[in-house]
């Protein structure tokens, strides 16, 4: 099924359509099934591979801390500490530090990272315990950086195929889009038109650096929003629980208001070769310009992702049916991500065409 408009006007004078964009994303993955390789391999590793835990390291200190809290708290609070202790043990039992390889929000998606299985159809996997807090910190940093790099490779592969498809379509329809980054240049190179161009190490290194800066900026924004809000919430909680709840809702809406305009920043980095600051600015402009359509598109992505996650999480980790969930989850999430790249590129084409029309008239 070809969801691409047949005339240039259909691309340049209309914003990207939800259904056509989703269909295009699924077509990209169906025609390039190797794109799901990283999510599948990561899920299989987290399922059958060894588990790296911190239970023996953290559990004694946590129990000692709870004992001190029980002594200093009132009798009415002791059931709360008891329930916290009973739930913390199983959580530590399922915690696998290798799940850090699936970094959020820019990383390789994983079904088993959220499930944290401790059993497989062939028995319990090998268990390794971290021996010190110094080891725990170094392992946490190393796995997080490795996960972010794998995420960059994953995003670059999808951006590569989407960029190649879209640039060829735009060239056929005579459309000029100001998005000529490393991926786009590779896509329009006549020598690589009929084959998949390689992922160049220097381009991946630059994208990794921009992505790392973007993550740091996101964390900074969240801290700026969260720390003052927490202080205000604590003050309001002493006055009225209603005021505290209202403050929390206000903080959540404010965070969403600030974060959503940045949702296409990675797309500018990987698809157009933009620096992190230019990618953030272009993402904000695109979202503000076609906000209603973008909101519906993002809601559709979230709804599909949540629905398919619930579906694939139904089989227990001891069932081989989990394999179906791993492949299904990898295919659908990769298709949704490809659709987001297509939406971003077609949104750029639409915004730039409107600006050209305005510039000609004025």
Q: What is the tens place of the pLDDT at every residue in 216-267?
A: 998 888 887 777 777 776 666 667 666 667 767 777 777 777 788 899 999 9
Q: What is the pLDDT of residues 330-352, one digit of tens each?
A: 999 999 999 999 999 888 888 88
Measured between alpha carbons, how far is 19 from 293 in angstroms, rounded to an integer? 12
Domain chopping of the chain, boundaries: 8-40+158-361
Per-residue model confidence (pLDDT) at position 155: 95
Token pair for 284: 């904000």
Beta 51-53 vs 127-129: how paired, if at all?
parallel
Average pLDDT over residues 98-124: 88
Q: List helix spans (H) across 73-111.
A: 78-94
Largest CA distance in the chain: 76
What's the pLDDT tens digit per position in 91-102? 788 889 999 999
**What pLDDT score does 3 carry?**
41
Closest CA to 134 of 57, 62, 59: 57
pLDDT at 293 over 70: yes
SS3 (DSSP) at 51? strand
CA separation for the pair 54, 58 (Å, rounded): 6
- What mean pLDDT is reported for the chain? 82
The pLDDT, as a whole number, for residue 166 is 81
- Work out the percent of the chain whose per-residue pLDDT is above 90: 38
Give residue 1's pLDDT. 40
2 vs 204, which has greater pLDDT?
204
- pLDDT for res 359: 67
Smallest Cα–Cα separation from 248: which of 229, 270, 262?
A: 229
Other Cβ atoms closer than 10 A to 3: 15
Report yes or no: 286 and 344 within 8 Å, Cβ to Cβ.
yes
Instruction: Name the pTM for this structure.
Output: 0.84
- Write out pLDDT tens, residues 131-146: 899 999 999 999 999 9
Residue 362 in this model has a pLDDT that exceeds 60 = yes
Nearest to 270 by CA among 206, 217, 207, 215: 207
CA–CA separation, 318 vs 124, rounded Å?
Answer: 9
pLDDT of 13 strictly over 80:
no
Give me Rg for the CA atoms of the chain.
24
pLDDT digits (tens, 9 = 90+) for 175-215: 667 665 545 444 444 444 444 556 788 889 999 999 999 99
Query: Would you place residue 90 in the very low, low, confident or very high pLDDT band (cuts 50, 70, 90)?
Result: confident
pLDDT of residue 88: 77
Distance CA 248, CA 238 (A): 14
Mean pLDDT of 11-18: 72
20 compared with 193, residue with greater pLDDT = 20
Q: Choose between 67 and 153: higher pLDDT.
A: 153
Task: Specify the pLDDT at position 241.
Answer: 67
Q: How many helices (H) and strands (E) does the chain have?
A: 14, 2
Cα separation, 179 vs 271, whole angstroms:
8
Q: Is the peptide bond before 200 cis (omega within 30 degrees of 0)?
A: no
Q: Which residues contact 86 (CB under 8 A, 6 or more apart)?
A: none
Alpha helices by DSSP H, listed for 6-77, are 8-12, 18-31, 37-48, 55-72
Tell me, what's the pLDDT at 236?
66
> Cβ(289)–Cβ(226) under 8 Å?
no
Quickly count: other Cβ atoms within 10 Å of residue 281's Cβ: 16
What's the pLDDT at 34? 93
Residue-level pLDDT at 2: 42
Distance of alpha carbon 342 from alpha carbon 24, whole angstroms: 8
Compute the average pLDDT of residues 308-313. Answer: 88
Q: Tokens for 291?
A: 């906000």
Decide if pLDDT at 298 tops 70: yes
Determine contact, residues 21/336, Cβ cutoff 8 Å. no
């Amino acid at each position: 099924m070809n969801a691409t408009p047949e005339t240039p006007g259909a691309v340049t004078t209309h914003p990207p359509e939800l259904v056509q964009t989703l269909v295009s994303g699924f077509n990209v993955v169906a025609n390039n099934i190797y794109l799901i390789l990283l999510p599948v391999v990561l899920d299989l590793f987290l399922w059958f591979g060894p588990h790296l835990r911190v239970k023996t390291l953290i559990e004694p200190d946590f129990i000692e801390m709870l004992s001190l809290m029980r002594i200093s708290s009132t009798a009415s609070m002791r059931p709360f500490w008891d329930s916290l202790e009973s739930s913390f043990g199983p959580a530590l039992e399922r915690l696998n530090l290798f799940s850090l390889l699936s970094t959020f929000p820019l990383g390789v998606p994983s079904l088993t990272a959220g499930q944290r299985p401790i059993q497989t159809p062939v028995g319990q996997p090998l268990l390794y315990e971290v021996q010190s807090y110094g080891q725990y910190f170094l392992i946490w940093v190393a796995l997080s950086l490795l996960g972010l790099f794998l995420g960059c490779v994953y995003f670059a592969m999808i951006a590569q195929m989407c960029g190649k498809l879209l640039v060829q379509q735009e060239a056929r329809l005579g459309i000029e889009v100001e998005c000529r980054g490393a991926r786009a240049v590779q896509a329009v190179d006549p020598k690589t038109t009929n084959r998949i161009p390689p992922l160049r190490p220097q381009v991946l290194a630059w994208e990794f650096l921009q992505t790392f800066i973007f993550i740091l900026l996101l964390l900074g924004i969240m801290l700026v929003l969260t720390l003052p809000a927490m202080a205000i919430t604590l003050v309001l909680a002493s006055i009225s629980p209603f005021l505290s709840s209202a403050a929390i809702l206000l903080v959540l809406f404010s965070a969403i208001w600030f974060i959503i305009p940045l949702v296409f920043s990675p797309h500018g980095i990987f698809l157009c070769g933009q620096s992190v600051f230019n990618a953030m600015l272009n993402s904000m402009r695109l979202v503000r310009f076609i906000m209603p359509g973008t909101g519906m598109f993002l809601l559709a992505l979230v709804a599909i992702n949540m629905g398919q996650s619930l579906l694939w999480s139904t089989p227990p980790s001891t069932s081989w049916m989990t394999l179906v969930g791993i492949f299904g989850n990898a295919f659908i999430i990769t298709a949704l991500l490809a659709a987001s790249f297509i939406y971003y590129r077609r949104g750029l084409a639409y915004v730039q065409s409107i600006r050209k029309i305005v510039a000609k008239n004025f």
